[in-house]
């Protein structure tokens, strides 16, 4: 296919349209950060609940797995009927998407926490809350954190779909470049998204090292 | 044993290779298969489906590649030969593909030259026809009759409340308004960038790009205040929307006509006659009505097209 412009012209495009690019970048970051934070607030309590009430564990896991099989675009379309177009439906759709990896990792992390440590803690007379916050969650934290990392990297990419429903973000540039077969515009959206995903992975990897108790940092990543 | 199998395989492969060019190539007198594309909105699917059904009725095989994407993408597919034809709009060809200016036809034609077309719509058609032939070896057939120009649309009561009837009325008010457009309209030279340059001072508080199918719903819900609309969209009257007068004449005429690869017509010139059966058959109201049947009444494009072509006696009843 004949294409307009040289591939590297995307840098020129970003320079010449700095204001618009910055605006879209900020929208993209907002979509990603808010939806992951919301997903953590929803997924972690749910996972704790599931680890406490055995009856709920299966249905919740199933629900999450079913949610994960619905295509992201379909979730966008479904939230559209309810919330209209723009930022909010995009945020809701991305949050739904990010909940499962965090939920599953938290649940598995708590369930797989070393039983002998928990028994020892119980033997020392810790209360339920102490057990959760001082023993179980710290033990689950490496797996939990990996879930957040997965969810974030995934959300950075999926946030490009917001461009279909007026949610903004860097997906706007990708769709505009596609509509015009203009590679500089397309790449001005696509390359920063890829870089953002890598940056998110590295940043959260660093944060993981700071947050997780030293004794648990066995497996390198 | 395995040697035997190897031999059989070799024979099969050799036979296959001998057969492929024979069936893939154009045998004398055999009708070619025609690949038809379209852009990603209702009217495009409808008019290109019309082309497909006309050709099928005339005994051609059709490979439908409808709903491909935006203008540039479909045009590139045509130039590269992935599709053989699609219906394009004269103004889109002029501004978005050829990157030319809207011609000035207000003055009298220069003396001594060949007689020139005098209306803007004819002039634009002549320009795209000649330039497409020269630059891409593509042929513009006869226009179908309707002019699907871009228009800005608003909710009627909102437009009345603001006292807006023309696009220039938006100047000074647009800063408080949210504009919704297709992603393509937001970057096309004959879209928002050109519009805001012609109507100096027109700047929207927010610009939101979205899928073409969502624009009307978004406007109707109040998520956006002004949208880029098509003049032949039946939802404008159906949803109680109004279009604003283009009082500075920014948008050119957008008459729809099939654009076909010259190579296909060389193979089978009769294709042009089949497609030209639709010339001048569809006026603005008819097109709007057909669009509405799909967008509002949720009918299938194939059914709408078949009913229309049969009613006009353009294809046989079956």
Choose among B72, B217, B218: nearest Cβ to A180: B72
Find the length of chain A. Answer: 221
Cα separation values, A96 from A89, A102, A168, Å: 11, 11, 18
CB contact residues (below 8 A), chain B span 169-188, against chain A: 180, 182-184, 186-188
pLDDT digits (tens, 9 = 90+) for A136-166: 888 888 899 999 999 999 999 999 999 999 9
CATH 3.40.630.20, applies to B150-243:
no
Q: Is residue A147 part of a domain?
A: yes
Number of Cβ within a 10 Å radius of residue B73: 19
Distance CA B193, CA B41 (A): 22
Question: Which stretch of A8-22, A192-206, A207-221, B10-24 has the lowest confidence by average pLDDT?
Answer: B10-24
B231 in Cβ contact with B285 (< 8 Å): no
Distance CA A100, CA A68 (A): 7
Nearest to B189 by CA among A192, A4, A191: A4
Q: Is residue A218 part of a domain?
A: no
Q: How much is the pLDDT for B12?
A: 55
Q: Is residue A221 part of a domain?
A: no
> pLDDT band at residue B21, thresholds of 50, 70 and 90?
very low
pLDDT digits (tens, 9 = 90+) for B66-93: 999 889 999 999 999 999 999 999 999 9
Q: Is residue A1 part of a domain?
A: no
Distance CA A104, CA A151 (A): 11
Distance CA B4, CA B141 (A): 56
Q: Would you say residue B111 has pLDDT above 50?
A: no
Greater pLDDT, B65 or B119: B65
Which residues of chain B are in CATH 3.40.190.10 domains?
A: 32-147+253-311
* B42–chain A Cβ distance below 8 A for any pair: no
Contact B187 A180 (CB under 8 A): yes
Q: Is residue A4 part of a domain?
A: no
Choose from A72-81, B233-242, B296-305 the range with maximum mean pLDDT. B296-305
Q: Which H helix or E strand runs over B205?
A: none
Within 8 A of B224 by CB-CB distance, chain A residues are 85, 166
Distance CA B50, CA B314 (A): 10
Question: Which stretch of A164-173, B14-23, B49-58, B72-81 has the lowest confidence by average pLDDT?
Answer: B14-23
Q: How much is the pLDDT for B163?
A: 95
Greater pLDDT, A180 or A158: A158
Instruction: Give me the mean pLDDT over the B110-114 stretch.
Output: 46
Greater pLDDT, A76 or B281: B281
> pLDDT band at residue B102, thresholds of 50, 70 and 90?
confident
Q: In the structure encoding, which two tokens stand for residue A63, read together?
A: 């629900």
Q: Is residue A217 part of a domain?
A: no
Q: Is residue A69 part of a domain?
A: yes
What CATH number is associated with residue A18?
1.10.3720.10
Instruction: Domain of residue A153: give its range.
Output: 9-211
Contact B72 A176 (CB under 8 A): no
Which residues of chain B are in CATH 3.40.190.120 domains?
A: 150-243
Q: Domains in chain A: how many in total? A: 1
The dotted CATH code for B32-147+253-311 is: 3.40.190.10
Q: Is residue A31 part of a domain?
A: yes
pLDDT digits (tens, 9 = 90+) for A33-56: 999 999 999 999 999 999 888 888
Cα separation values, A187 from A147, A160, A192, B261, Å: 29, 13, 8, 30
Q: Would you say residue A7 has pLDDT above 80?
A: no
Number of Cβ within a 10 Å radius of residue A31: 28
Contact B210 A176 (CB under 8 A): no
Choose from B10-14, B142-146, B236-240 the range with maximum mean pLDDT. B142-146
Question: How many angstroms separate the CA of residue B248 from the nearest CA in chain A?
Answer: 26
Instruction: Give me the mean pLDDT over the A67-78 stretch.
Output: 81
Mean per-residue pLDDT of chain B = 88
Choose among A1, A165, A180: nearest Cβ to B214: A165
């Amino acid at each position: 296919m004949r294409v307009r412009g040289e591939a590297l012209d995307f840098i020129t495009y970003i320079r010449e349209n700095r204001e618009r690019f910055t605006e879209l970048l900020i929208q993209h970051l907002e979509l990603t950060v808010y939806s992951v934070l919301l997903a953590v607030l929803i997924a972690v309590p749910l996972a704790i609940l599931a680890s406490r009430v055995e009856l709920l564990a299966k249905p919740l896991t199933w629900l999450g797995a079913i949610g994960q099989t619905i295509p992201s675009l379909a979730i966008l379309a479904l939230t559209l009927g309810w919330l209209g177009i723009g930022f909010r439906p995009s945020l809701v759709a991305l949050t739904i998407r990010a909940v499962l990896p965090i939920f599953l990792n938290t649940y598995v992390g708590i369930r797989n926490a070393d039983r002998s440590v928990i028994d020892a803690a119980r033997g020392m007379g810790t209360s339920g809350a102490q057990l959760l916050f001082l023993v179980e969650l710290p033990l689950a934290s490496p797996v939990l954190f990996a879930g957040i990392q997965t969810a974030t990297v995934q959300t950075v990419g999926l946030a490009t779909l917001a461009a279909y429903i007026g949610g903004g973000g860097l997906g706007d540039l990708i769709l505009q470049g596609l509509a015009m077969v203009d590679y500089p515009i397309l790449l001005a959206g696509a390359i920063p998204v890829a870089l953002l995903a890598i940056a998110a992975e590295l940043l959260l990897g660093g944060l993981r090292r700071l947050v997780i108790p030293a004794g648990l940092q066995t497996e390198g990543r | 044993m395995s040697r035997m199998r190897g031999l059989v395989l070799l024979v099969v492969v050799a036979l296959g290779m001998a057969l492929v060019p024979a069936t893939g190539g154009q045998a004398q007198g055999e009708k070619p298969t025609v690949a038809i594309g379209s852009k990603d909105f209702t009217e495009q699917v409808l008019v290109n489906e019309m082309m497909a059904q006309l050709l099928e009725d005339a005994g051609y095989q059709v490979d439908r590649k409808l709903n491909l994407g935006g203008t540039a993408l479909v045009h590139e597919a045509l130039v590269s030969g992935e599709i053989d034809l699609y219906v394009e709009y004269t103004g889109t060809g002029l501004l978005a593909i050829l990157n030319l200016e809207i011609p000035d036809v207000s003055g009298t034609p220069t003396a001594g030259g060949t007689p020139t077309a005098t209306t803007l719509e004819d002039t634009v058609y002549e320009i795209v026809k000649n330039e497409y032939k020269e630059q891409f070896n593509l042929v513009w057939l006869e226009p179908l009759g309707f002019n699907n120009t871009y228009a800005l649309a608003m909710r009627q009561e909102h437009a009345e409340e603001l006292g807006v009837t023309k696009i220039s009325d938006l100047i000074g008010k647009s800063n408080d308004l949210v504009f919704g457009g297709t992603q393509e309209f937001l970057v096309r030279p004959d879209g928002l960038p050109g519009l805001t340059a012609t109507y100096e001072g027109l700047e929207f508080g927010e610009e939101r790009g979205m899928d073409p199918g969502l624009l009307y719903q978004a406007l109707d819900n109040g998520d956006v205040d002004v949208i880029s609309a098509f003049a032949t969209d039946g939802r404008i009257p159906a949803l109680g929307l109004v279009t604003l007068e283009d009082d500075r004449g920014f948008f050119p005429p957008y008459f729809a006509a099939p654009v076909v690869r010259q190579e296909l017509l060389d193979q089978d010139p009769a294709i042009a006659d089949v497609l030209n059966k639709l010339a001048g058959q569809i006026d603005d109201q008819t097109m709007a009505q057909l669009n509405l049947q799909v967008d509002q009444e949720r009918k299938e494009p194939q059914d709408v097209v078949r009913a229309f072509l049969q009613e006009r006696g353009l294809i046989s009843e079956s």
